[in-house]
Chains A and B, each alone.
Chain A
Amino acid sequence: MATAEPLQSAAEQAPALDLTERTDLVPIFIMGKKYDVPSTLTIQKALEYAGYQLIRGCGCRGGICGACATVYRMPGSPKIHVGLACQTLVQPNMYLTMVPFFPANRAVYNIEEMKPDTHALLKVYPELTKCMGCNTCTKSCPMELDVMEYISAALRGDLERTAELSMSCVMCGICASRCPAELGQYHIAILCRRLTARHLRPKAAHVAEMVERVESGRYEEPLRQLMTADLDTLRKLYVEREMEPHTADEMWQPQETRFL
Chain B
Amino acid sequence: MGYTAELLELIKRVEKTRPERVARKKAGQEFTALTLEQRADRLKKYHPDYREGGLRELKIGPSKGYALAREIADLFEARSRVDPDKIDLNEVHYETDVLVIGGGGAGTAAALMAQEQGARVIIATKLRHGDANTMMAEGGIQAATKGWKDSPYYHYLDVMGGGHFENDPELVRTMVLEAPKVIAWLERLGCMLNKWPDGKLFTLHGAGTCRKRMHYAGDLTGAEIMRTLRDEARNRIKDIGVLEFSPAVELLLDDKGRCSGAVLYNLETEEYFLVKAKAVVMATGGCGRLHIQNFMTTNHYGATGDGLVMGYRLGVGVRFLHATQYHPTGAVFPEQAEGLLITEKVRGAGANLVNIDGEQFVFEREPRDIESASIIRECTTVGKGIPVPGQPGKFGVWLDSPMIDLLEGEGTVEREFPAKFILFKRYEIDISKMPMLVYPTLHYQNGGLAYKPDGSTAVPGFFVAGEVGGGVHGANRLMGNSLLDITVFGRLAGETAGRYVKDRADVGALSVEHVRKYHKELEEAGIETDRVSPMILPDYANPLVRKRQWTTTYVGTIR
Interface set of A (CB-CB < 8 Å, partner B):
17-19, 21, 24, 38, 40-42, 45, 48-56, 58-65, 67, 86-87, 89, 106, 108-112, 163, 167-168, 170-171, 190-191, 193-199, 201-211, 213-214, 219, 222-223, 226-227, 231, 234-235, 237-238, 241-244, 246, 248, 250-254, 259-260
Contact = CB atoms under 8 A, between A and B. Distances in A.
Contacts of B188: 112, 198
Nearest to B130: A65
4 A-B pairs with least C-beta separation? A194-B190, A202-B199, A51-B545, A59-B131
Given A40-B336, A238-B160, A214 B131 contact: no
Given A40-B334, A195-B190, A168 B220 contact: yes
Contacts of A214: 152, 177, 180-181
Contacts of A219: 151-153, 177
B150 A260 contact: yes
Nearest to B212: A244
Given A61-B301, A234-B160, A254-B149, A208 B541 contact: no
A40 B227 contact: no
Interface string B264-307: 00011000000000000000000000000000001011100000
Contacts of B526: none
Give the bracket for the number of chain B residues in contact with chain A: 35 or more
6 contacts: A21-B544, A54-B540, A55-B268, A64-B223, A211-B184, A260-B151
Contacts of A89: 1, 336
Interface of B: 1, 127-128, 130-132, 135-136, 144-154, 156-158, 160-161, 165, 169-170, 173, 176-177, 180-181, 183-184, 187-193, 195-201, 205, 210-212, 217-218, 220, 223-224, 227-228, 231-232, 234-235, 237, 245, 267-268, 298, 300-302, 334-336, 339-340, 390, 423, 426, 537, 539-542, 544-546, 558-559
A51 to B, nearest CB: 3
Nearest to A224: B173
Nearest to B188: A198
A244 B200 CA distance: 18
Contacts of B228: 190, 194
B131 A60 contact: yes
Contacts of B220: 64, 167-168
A251 B147 CA distance: 10
A108 B235 contact: yes
Nearest to B131: A59
A54 B301 contact: yes
Contacts of B154: 241, 259
A64 B211 CA distance: 29
A85 to B, nearest CB: 10
Contact of A243 (B176, B183, B210, B300): B210
B149 A253 contact: yes
B200 A250 contact: yes
A206 B190 CA distance: 17
Nearest to A218: B151
A63 B423 contact: yes
A18 B149 contact: no
B347 to A, nearest CB: 14
Nearest to A234: B165
Contacts of A106: 234
Contacts of A191: 231
A224 B546 CA distance: 58
Contacts of B165: 231, 234-235, 238
B153 A60 contact: no
A53 B334 contact: no
A109 B231 CA distance: 10
B145 A206 contact: yes
A211 B177 contact: no
Contacts of B232: 111
Nearest to B334: A40
Contacts of A61: 300-301, 339
A49 B541 CA distance: 6
B234 A204 contact: no
A101 B132 CA distance: 17
A171 B228 CA distance: 12
A213 B152 CA distance: 10
Given A190-B231, A210-B180, A253-B149, A167 B169 contact: no
B173 A223 contact: yes
Contacts of A18: 544
A111 B235 contact: yes
A53 B145 contact: no
A168 B130 CA distance: 15
Nearest to A20: B544
A206 B211 CA distance: 15
B295 to A, nearest CB: 15
Contact of A48 (B131, B227, B390, B542): B542
Contacts of A21: 544
A199 B188 CA distance: 9
B157 A55 contact: no
Given A197-B190, A214-B152, A222-B153, A45 B234 contact: no
B180 A211 contact: yes
B145 A193 contact: no
Given A59-B301, A223-B152, A250-B200, 20 more contacts: A24-B390, A40-B1, A41-B335, A50-B542, A53-B541, A54-B540, A60-B131, A61-B301, A61-B339, A64-B223, A65-B130, A194-B228, A197-B187, A201-B195, A202-B198, A207-B180, A210-B145, A223-B153, A226-B160, A244-B211
Q: Which of B150, B156, B212 has the most CB of A within 10 A?
A: B156
Contacts of B130: 59, 65
A62 to B, nearest CB: 6
B227 A204 contact: no
A211 B181 contact: yes
